[in-house]
Amino acid sequence: MRWLGVRQTPLAVSGTRNLRATWSLLVALTMAACGVVHAADVDASTPVELQPYRVHLLLADRRPDGVAREKLVEELSSTSDRTWGRRWALQLESRDPSPWSNHRAFRRFRPETFAADTDVDAFDVRYFVQVSALPVGLQLQVRAWEPLWNHASPVLGASVMDPRDAPLRILELCRDLFRPRAVWEKTNDYSARLIVQGGAIAAPDAEFPLIEPQEIFTPWLVARNREGAITRQQAVPWTCFVLEDVVDGRASVRVVSGLRAPLGAKPRGRIDYVAVAARPQWTSTRLDCYSVSQPPRALAAHRVELTPVDLSPPASEESPTPPTPELVLTDRLGAVRIDAAGRPPMVWAAVYSGTLKLATVPIVPGSAEAVRLDLPDDSIRLQAEGQLQLLTSELVDTVALRAVVMSAARAAAKKNDWPVVKDKMAEARKIGDPKPLLERVSAVRVPAAAAALAKKDRTTEQRVQRMCDETAEMVRHYLNPEKLNLLQEELDELEKVDQQTKADVRELETPRAPSQPAVISAPKEPPKPSPAAPPPKPVGF
């Protein structure tokens, strides 16, 4: 078992491995009882939660007083035992300060150049400390370099008035740059378990905690060859672990990722599953947005929505109300700066191209100086969307103009000006004809879909087809001739009523012929009733 290497080894061992783990635990406790743990005394077979961190501290003291330099080294060692205790296997080394002749050179030098001939597994973190004299007190500067991830930290500086405070202040700066490690094992595609290195070792000083509550870790995959040398390191993209229920360095984690199944892929070969804490070391993180086209193109003027991530466990099953996102735009270089001050430890960054959401990824502000987000080339869809937006604006103008003409037709109908009504209705039908706009939708659809097919971008083709279908449906809905037909029927009825009214008025106003004198005839006598028939005689008379 390598240092921090789990190589797909289960967290719960049995049989012979249990005996080895028990023996390693006894060895570690015996070493701890004997005194200080040094880097050379660390056994790689020790359980991860009992393994100290191998820390290499290079001290470049620019003061001419050699006695003061030696005293600082001794005080650093004793102060480290009092603050970090057995969690650090510290190796102190005095360094010639000539490569860091001044503060500017110290900030510009590349830490990896000091370990070109050093094995990556030789130590976990290396600190570069520069001490220089001030008129009153000392000036301290610290940088950190972690060879496994090739991570170089920014420079932290401080000044002390009393040289006796320098050892503690140096270790405090190292604490601010320290990032704990862990090994992890996935339980399924969306959850994992994690063991923090040194998590079971007691902390002698509460001001120097190893991990914080709800600590955020970034998972990594480290590939090795048969000889055990590292061939490749790769972080699981846009994925973070949030610690939950930490007991003696062992914890379950909540996976926060911008991927659908971040732990779904099964790596092949000799893989170490490791993780490192994502702590803010910079004042801000620059998010660079580029397209995956050839050559890559900076996505300028793209909308980015920043939403805080709630790291606390949910109190109930009901989903809380999402907070209002912060809206920012990428600059001409496709970058947006996310400040760490005044923000939660983690935020969601959603990048939009027009109305389409390209990606949503978690970001820990300040954990990296810059991160690059490669997004799909959306130029074809964006161009089609722009043309459809222009067409939609013309549709709005057309609908408004048709409504104005229809209102003019109604106004003319109230004045019984039927020739004007006919002209306005003919104009409204000409304006409201959806055929020209539908032809323009097809003119956008065909070349955009062809360009997407040429790039074998099926997703963009489907998006273009969907946008064009929605626009065509909107044109048919708002330029539906049914409204004109109903208005035409209404106006026809009004015209008929008006014509009937005018006909009645003309009939009443038409003069009649002179009337003849009336002839009065004598009343006729009523007809006389006919005599009644005699009753029939009885038979036999």
Q: By three-state DSSP, how is residue 451 classified?
A: helix
Query: Whose CA is closest to 143, among 161, 124, 160, 125?
Result: 125
Give the pLDDT confidence of 7-50 residue by residue, as tens digits. Answer: 333 333 334 344 444 444 443 444 444 344 444 455 567 889 99
335: alpha, beta or left, given left = phi > 0 and alpha = psi -120 to 50? beta
What's the pLDDT score for residue 166? 93
Contact 54, 105 (CB under 8 A): no
The residue-averaged pLDDT of 383-402 equals 90
Q: Out of 53-57, 198-202, 263-267, 450-454, which region has the weakest mean confidence (pLDDT)?
A: 263-267
The residue-averaged pLDDT of 349-377 equals 91
pLDDT at 448 over 80: yes
Query: Whose CA is closest to 126, among 178, 79, 77?
Result: 178
Give the pLDDT confidence of 474-512 residue by residue, as tens digits. Answer: 999 888 888 888 888 888 888 888 788 877 777 777 766
In angstroms, the first-to-last Cα distance of the chain is: 154
Structure tokens at 205: 């000083």
Structure tokens at 435: 């055929």
Per the model's pLDDT, the better-predicted residue between 395 and 230 turns out to be 395
What's the pLDDT score for residue 519? 54
Query: Whose CA is closest to 465, among 440, 446, 479, 439?
Result: 446
What's the pLDDT score for residue 170? 94
Q: Out of 24-33, 330-339, 461-470, which region has the weakest mean confidence (pLDDT)?
A: 24-33
Q: pLDDT class for 127, splitting at 50, 70, 90? A: very high
237: alpha, beta or left, given left = phi > 0 and alpha = psi -120 to 50? beta
Give the pLDDT confidence of 56-98 residue by residue, as tens digits. Answer: 998 988 888 888 888 999 999 999 999 999 999 999 988 776 6
Other CB atoms within 10 A of residue 129 CB: 25
What's the pLDDT score for residue 44? 60
What's the pLDDT score for residue 366? 93
* pLDDT averaged over every residue in the chain: 82
What's the pLDDT score for residue 331? 93
Q: By three-state DSSP, how is residue 147 classified?
A: coil
What's the pLDDT score for residue 523? 58
pLDDT at 354 over 60: yes
What's the pLDDT score for residue 101? 63
Rounded Cα gap, residues 49 and 81, in angstroms: 19
Rounded Cα gap, residues 184 and 249, in angstroms: 12
Per the model's pLDDT, the better-predicted residue between 239 and 24 turns out to be 239
What's the pLDDT score for residue 21? 45
HSE of 206, CA atoms in CB hemisphere, 13 A: 0
Q: pLDDT class for 538, splitting at 50, 70, 90? A: low
Bridge partners (DSSP) listed for residue 362: 348
Per the model's pLDDT, the better-predicted residue between 409 and 364 turns out to be 364
Positions of E strands within 364-519: 370-375
What's the pLDDT score for residue 518? 52
Contact 305, 361 (CB under 8 A): no
Sheet arrangement for strand 370-375:
335-339, 284-291, 370-375
Query: Whose CA is closest to 249, among 222, 223, 210, 216?
Result: 210
pLDDT at 137 over 70: yes
Residue 337 Cα to chain centre, angstroms: 15
pLDDT at 5 over 70: no
Rounded Cα gap, residues 192 and 188, in angstroms: 7
Structure tokens at 439: 């032809």
Q: Out of 79-83, 214-218, 420-424, 462-466, which region has the weakest mean confidence (pLDDT)?
A: 420-424
Other CB atoms within 10 A of residue 539 CB: 5
What's the pLDDT score for residue 431? 84
Give the pLDDT confidence of 91-118 residue by residue, as tens digits. Answer: 998 877 666 666 777 777 777 666 554 5
Contact 253, 241 (CB under 8 A): yes
pLDDT at 513 over 50: yes
Q: By three-state DSSP, how is residue 307 classified?
A: strand
Per the model's pLDDT, the better-predicted residue between 266 and 257 turns out to be 257
Burial 209-248 (b: 16+ CB within 10 A, else e): ebbeeebbbbbbbbebeeeeebeeeeebebbbbbbbebee
Burial 389-426 (b: 16+ CB within 10 A, else e): eebeeebeebbeebeebbebbeebbeeeebeebeebbe
Per the model's pLDDT, the better-predicted residue between 415 and 15 turns out to be 415
Please, which residues have CB within 8 angstroms of residue 166's CB and are 6 or more apart in sequence? 72, 75, 131, 138, 140, 160
Share of the chain above pLDDT 90, in %: 38
Give the pLDDT confidence of 301-312 residue by residue, as tens digits. Answer: 899 999 999 887
Helix axes 66-83 and 166-177, enclosed angle (nearest 10): 50
Contact 290, 299 (CB under 8 A): yes
Rounded Cα gap, residues 477 and 177, in angstroms: 61
